[in-house]
């Protein structure tokens, strides 16, 4: 016997690639298990306006490969108040909805936590490109974002090699350096600057200078926006070495594009898992994959824990980019 009969799903916060695949998995898994499912338009803002609609198999046809989210997202200040949260719980209850899957980042998780206090069973799915949510090795969208950065660096490399140039690429990641780390390791960047590790701009400039003298034909610095701006890093390098790196700020294209197969698979696994957890009566959990295993962790723990930075990968990147 399932602990929930009718559930809803919403996407919230910044969108990320694979959110649609997650919505699809929630809907199809729920239907497979005999539940009813509703979609909420525009996150918590839509919830407060009772902007819900029933979803069937076809509602999520042909969306697994689409970027963005068919449910749209929006910011919602009102939902940060107790009153807003109570109104949200009421809306769900008035429709007989007893379970909710929230796909988004930490702010979205907080909302799910609040609703669970008000009697709604909730599950959080990590939908953000930043990979900054703990208790999951990867967030939905991260793999695609890294692939976009790596593709951009591939392009830069061509033109830099022709000119013997340096490039600074600023990537997303306010609190997490993971996009910079993974993209930097994968693209053979000589320097990776992340919020989690202090950097020595003098050493960076000196190394770049030495490399060019030793015959290296290009040099790539990848910097997470949370550590410094690309322009600042470029200026600091110029001041110290005379080298004038080109700056690329990739911006929101990192959030777009068709999700990679990894993001689609991750989203599919997590969406299905969240439904099954709700059916088991679980609530207020953040779902994730750790070492290949599906896990559900108390949202309170998730939002109060800082995700550890992978120093092994960081050191490997240094070792291999000589």
Instruction: Determine phi and psi for 176, rounding to 5 degrees.
Output: -125, 135
Instruction: Determine phi and psi for 92, rounding to 5 degrees.
Output: -65, -45
Q: How far apart are CA 133 and CA 306, in angstroms?
A: 8
Which one of 5, 6, 87, 269 is in contact with a copy of itself (CB under 8 A)?
A: 269
Which of the residues 247 through 266 are near a copy of itself (CB under 8 A)?
247-253, 255-258, 260-262, 264-265
Angle at 167 between CA 162 and CA 172, to 5 degrees: 140
Give the side-chain half-sphere CA count within 13 A for 142: 24
| Smallest gap from residue 25 Cβ to a copy of itself (A) | 6
Interface characters, 43-82, with a copy of itself (x: CB under 8 A): --------------xx--xx-xxxxxx--xxx--------
> Which CB atom, from 110 or from 187, has the smaller least distance to a copy of itself?
187
Which one of 8, 9, 11, 177 is in contact with a copy of itself (CB under 8 A)?
A: 11
Q: Is 263 a catalytic residue?
A: no
> Which CB atom, from 116 or from 141, has the smaller least distance to a copy of itself?
141
Q: Is 93 in the site for a copy of itself (CB under 8 A)?
A: no
The catalytically annotated residue of 15, 130, 143, 263 is 130
Q: How far apart are CA 279 and CA 296, in angstroms?
A: 14
Q: Is 307 in the site for a copy of itself (CB under 8 A)?
A: no
Confirm whether residue 165 is marked as ligand binding: yes
DSSP notation for 287-319: EEEETTEEEEEEHHHHHTSPPPP-HHHHHHHHH
| Smallest gap from residue 112 Cβ to a copy of itself (A) | 19
Nearest CA to 71 out of 88, 93, 91, 47 is that of 47
By annotation, the residues acting in catalysis are 130
């Amino acid at each position: 016997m399932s602990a929930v009969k009718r559930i809803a799903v919403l996407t919230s916060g910044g969108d990320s690639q694979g959110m649609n695949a997650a919505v699809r998995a929630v809907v199809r898994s729920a239907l497979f298990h005999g539940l009813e499912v509703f979609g909420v338009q525009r996150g918590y803002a839509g919830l407060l306006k009772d902007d819900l609609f029933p979803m069937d198999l076809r509602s999520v046809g042909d969306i697994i490969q689409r970027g963005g989210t068919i449910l749209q997202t929006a910011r919602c200040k009102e939902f940060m108040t107790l009153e807003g949260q109570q109104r949200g719980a009421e809306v769900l209850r008035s429709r007989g909805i007893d379970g909710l899957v929230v796909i988004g980042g930490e702010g979205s998780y907080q909302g799910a936590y609040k609703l669970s206090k008000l009697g709604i069973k909730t599950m959080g799915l990590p939908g953000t490109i930043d990979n900054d949510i703990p208790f999951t090795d990867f967030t939905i969208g991260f793999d695609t974002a890294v692939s976009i950065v790596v593709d951009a660096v591939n392009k830069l490399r061509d033109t830099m090699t022709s000119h013997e140039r340096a490039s600074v690429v600023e990537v997303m990641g306010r609190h997490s350096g993971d996009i910079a780390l993974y993209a930097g390791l994968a693209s053979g960047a000589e320097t990776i600057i992340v919020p989690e590790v202090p950097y020595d701009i003098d050493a960076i400039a000196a190394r770049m200078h030495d490399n060019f003298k030793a015959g290296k034909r290009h040099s790539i610095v990848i910097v997470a926006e949370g550590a410094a701006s690309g322009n600042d890093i470029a200026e600091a390098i110029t001041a110290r070495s005379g080298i004038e790196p080109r700056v690329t700020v990739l911006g929101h294209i990192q959030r777009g594009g068709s999700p990679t197969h990894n993001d689609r698979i991750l989203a599919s696994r997590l969406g299905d898992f969240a439904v099954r957890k709700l059916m088991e009566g679980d609530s207020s959990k953040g779902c994730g994959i750790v070492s290949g295993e599906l896990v559900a962790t108390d949202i309170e723990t998730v939002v109060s824990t800082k995700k550890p930075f992978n120093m092994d990968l960081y050191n490997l990147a240094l070792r291999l980019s000589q």
